[in-house]
Amino acid sequence: MGIVTPFPYAGRPSQVGFERAELNRILDLYGRMVAAGHWKDYAMDLGKDAAIFAAFRRAAERPEFRIEKRPALRARQGMWALIGEQGVVLKRGHELGPVLAPVERRLMKLVD
């Protein structure tokens, strides 16, 4: 039939992205915040150094939260970061679940 030739790969990938399980977890949280009436829009930026998911209260403003994945920081502080509207790092870690915990707590307050 045909010969499969591997794509040349030199070192690290040219673009950082979210894995399916990571994106499912982030979009699940986003969907629950939309259902609570708090978030209205989102944006994703898949760059060379980081993958960023930004959640907005309205479409034309700064994001309320940014969830960043930076694999270069994996061995140091952790590759996940939750960044607030003012650009302050709210939470940083090696796993996605604990980094999303402050937003999960806010969701519980919104629903109650």
How does pLDDT run across 29-67, given as a tens digit for each residue?
A: 999 999 988 899 999 999 999 999 999 987 767 899 999
- Answer yes or no: is 64 within a domain: yes
Whether residue 106 is contained in a domain is answered as no
With respect to residue 27, please indicate whether it lies within any of the assigned structural domains. yes
Q: What is the number of structural domains in the chain?
A: 1
Predicted TM-score (pTM) of the model is: 0.81
- In-domain check, residue 73: yes
Q: Is residue 10 part of a domain?
A: no
> Does residue 52 sit within a domain?
yes
Whether 105 maps to a domain, the answer reads no
Domain that holds residue 75: 20-94
Q: Would you say residue 57 lies in a domain?
A: yes
CA within 13 Å, CB half, 76? 5
Query: In this predicted model, what pLDDT tens digit does every residue of 58-110 receive, in sequence order?
Result: 776 789 999 999 988 888 888 999 999 888 999 999 999 999 999 888 877 66
Query: With the CA atoms of 97, 23, 85 and 70 taken in that order, what torsion angle do they form, in degrees rounded to the nearest 10?
Result: 80
